[in-house]
Chains A and B, each alone.
Chain A
Amino acid sequence: MARGIKDKVAIVGMGCTTFGEHWDKGPEDLIVDAFEEALADAKIARSDIQAAWMGNALDDINVGNSALPLAHALRLKAMPVSRVENMCATGSEALRAAVYAVAAGAVDFALALGVEKLKDTGYGGLPLRTKGLANDLWLPYGSAPGSFAQLAGAYAAKHRLNGDDLKRAMAHVSWKSHQNAVHNPRAHLRKAVDVETILKAPMIADPLGLYDCCGVSDGAAAAIITTPDIARGLGVANPVTVKAVQLSASHGWEMQYGAWDGSYVKNTQEAAKRAYAEAGVRDAASELSLTEVHDCFSITELVTMEDLGLSEEGRAPRDILDGRYDRTGAQPCQIDGGLKCFGHPVGASGLRMAYEVYTQLLGRAGGRQLDKVDLGLTHNLGGAPFNSVAAVSIFGRLN
């Protein structure tokens, strides 16, 4: 009988580059920056690392396939390295692999590193795909905002919400993340924006305006995983441990079977349910100190609050407008600015979320440090609401 991975592994080192437009850096530079920070944090020798997983989502631009770019950049000698990819949930996928390797006892130290170097495409948003196959014969080639925008219409229709009211709650989501990112020196966008500006921004995909969308960035983040015993041996008395790592992926039900109403993300619900069980969380709304969720678009964060069970169904707009998820609210969300403002180098984002929770758990978050942090959740969503991969992870301290 599987017992899950709660407290079987510890995170002893993490690193994260500034996210943004790194015109002066290639992916190998970002890899080195994130790794060196994590290595210094872990206080181990680079030769201690026995296996590595590199998360990189978009092989059409820059990094390329396999994890050889990681091995080359870090000069990992004859090390087992693999590239993992699960769309925007890629960073969490790299972490999951490293966690499982250590939990299985296969290695003592494993590296998870996510990297994406997107800003060489020459345009905003995600790179355009360049491979045409069977799906191209029928599937619309919509953008990411186009895919997520559809949540809004379906959510409004289901809850009989006025579009303007929903838009105002969505605007608050983005307003809050901009407020938070001002205090984060590594964030891509560190500028507060008022709600009226957000509401009046040019439309990207109805009803998502410019400020309802996260941009994409260059960046990398890394985690070094070991066992709690080894961590203690390194002098970390009460290490940060992984309480749960869960993943749920679509099998066509949303897109092809007539039961889904388009207003929520099924895989977030499934992954959260399993993660809470694995971590022993009975009431997420009161037990989680903070959340870092996949706010690729404001509407995604809004429905995620319900999908994670933090807001009751239909209540998220009210809770958001009441400030529940603000920095000063009962359950801060995106204290680092989130995808919206910290940025979204796709393959690194899941690890960036973990980095923020890790930093908060250790009380190192400086100007954005929260008062009391016991448990933090990351939610990393790949694909589109109708065809998604959702990773939900929970982190805390060993004792």
Chain B
Amino acid sequence: MQAEAKVVGARAIGSVGAYAPLMRLDREAAARALKFSGLGGRGIGRRAVAGWDEDPVTLGVEAARYTEGAPGAVVFASTSAPFFERLHATLIIDALALPSTTRARDVSGSRRCAVSALLDALLASGCTLVAAGERRPGRAGSPLHLSQGDGGAAALVAEEGAARLLGWASLSRDLVDIYASREHPEPYAYEERFVRDTTVSQVIAPTIRKALANAGLAGSDIQHAAVHEPVAGLWRDISKATGITAPNHASDVAAALGDLGAAHGLFGFALAAARAKPGERILLAGFGSGCDALVLEMTAPMPGAESAEDALARGLAFGDYVRFLSLNGALEMDWGVRSEFEQKAQATVIERYGRDMVGFIGGRDAAGNVQFPKSRIPVRPDAAGPEPMEDVRLADDPARIVSVTADRLNFTPDPPFWFGLTQFDNGARVMMEFTDADARGFSVGDRVRMRLRVKSHDQRRGFRTYFWKAAPAERPILGGP
């Protein structure tokens, strides 16, 4: 049943963020590796590949860090989030060091869920952060494995902002183009010709046309599109059916990073916002078990939007298909006896220290020295006894490397294991893991920035903990594929 658009909400999109993992698999190289089988799909563009220590939560948090504002609620959207029972939005609140009074909600169930949550936030009251993250599992050889990608995107809805809602429409329809289930966690895809023929005519085009009508606009009034195509190349059909001749920036995301699932629509919107001028209109459409279409108008440059362009432009291309399979979990390697160590985390310990860890909260002692972690008696050499400590967040502070190594002995799912001593400009010093090494690796004196990552993954019990790792302050610029 098609819903009627009644009112345009009094909220606006105030800022956005987009994040892609460092590694980009050249699909052409993957196609070469799969040539014997004739499987794998199109060998063009690249696929963003999450590091072993990235998951939907960390990807969503990294995107959300580009947004600006003080949300009263956080909605986390993903179809591949690690937990069924443990709220990811709460972890994100801790990771962003938001007040614990912030309302938290996870949404899932379809790729559309983030755009649906954004629409809800625009129609509701208060300031809401919608953060999406996706790291979907896949089976080697399936076309989806290479056409999908890993990444995060976020949008913050506030009373005032850079994009306002002119009209919208929603359609709920159980048209199953793909699905994933507890029994089959990797997305299962139905015949592509069926998807092409039905999704545009039955779901996407009617919803977009309805949204345009509700906004009192024609397709030609739209300058930018961020439409989540069910399969690559459908924008031409959608464009024809809706009269929108604008470029679809979500197609660029699919080509450069892959279909980002729940994060795709928001990522496409962030990219469109980066490329749009004030006064121009963006059509945002999320797809999956129906469609949500939003007509938005830019009123000012969008804070955080440049993160989307940056995410496309910077990264590290690679063609090692086996490494991709291993990183993605499609190939289970035998890492030897050293990988058999116990990684159990205790709830009691997480309860005592977890929020300071996920939020990267250190302490400033009575003399002003900053340290991590906090302690009753400060590490400052002239400290004579217990002192009060003021919370200091280290996640956004610049730092440099004091000492470093690439450890090839201890187990890590993507060797080598980089770690060393990190000196923050604010005085704090932390022994920490390094991540996102480029071809140069890490050296003493390098500037680094903090990224939230998976710290430990207890596969036996299906649990994970999160902490921050130091990554190069800047990523390399990607060349053309």
Contact = CB atoms under 8 A, between A and B. Distances in A.
A136 interface: yes
A386 B429 CA distance: 11
B379 interface: yes
Contact of B407 (A130, A142, A260): A142
Contacts of A252: 375, 379
Nearest to B340: A128
A149 B350 contact: no
Given A132-B456, A137-B465, A262-B402, A386 B408 contact: no
Nearest to A203: B408
A146 B427 CA distance: 24
Contacts of A128: 338, 340-341, 410
Nearest to A131: B342
B431 A386 contact: yes
Interface residues of B, number: 54
Nearest to A137: B357
Interface stretch (B68-76, B258-266, B294-302, B418-426): B418-426
Nearest to B433: A140
A66 interface: no
Given A132-B456, A142-B419, A204 B404 contact: no
A208 B373 CA distance: 30
A248 interface: no
Given A256-B379, A257-B429, A262-B421, A157 B405 contact: no
A210 B423 CA distance: 29
A125 interface: yes
A145 to B, nearest CB: 6
Interface string B335-361: 011101111111001101110010000
Interface string B389-429: 00000000000001111111110000011011101000111
B454 to A, nearest CB: 12
A255 to B, nearest CB: 5
B405 A146 contact: yes
B372 interface: yes
Contacts of B343: 132, 136
A43 B404 CA distance: 51
Interface residues of A, number: 47
Nearest to B434: A140
A272 B400 CA distance: 31
Contacts of A387: 431
B468 to A, nearest CB: 8
B66 interface: no
A206 interface: yes
B478 interface: no
A146 B407 contact: yes
A138 B341 CA distance: 17
Of A121, A251, A386, the most chain B CB neighbours within 10 A belong to A386
B467 interface: yes
A150 B409 contact: no
A1 interface: no
Contacts of A253: 379, 381
A256 B410 contact: no
Contact of B337 (A122, A251, A260): A122
B369 interface: yes
A151 B444 CA distance: 11
Contacts of A140: 417, 419, 431-433
Nearest to B469: A140
A262 B405 contact: no
B445 interface: yes
Interface of A: 121-123, 125, 128-134, 136-147, 149-151, 153-154, 156-157, 203-206, 208, 251-253, 255-258, 260-262, 386-387
10 contacts: A125-B338, A137-B357, A141-B410, A153-B405, A153-B443, A154-B402, A205-B406, A256-B371, A261-B402, A262-B421
Given A146-B409, A256-B430, 11 more contacts: A129-B341, A136-B345, A136-B455, A137-B349, A140-B417, A145-B409, A153-B444, A257-B379, A258-B428, A260-B402, A386-B403
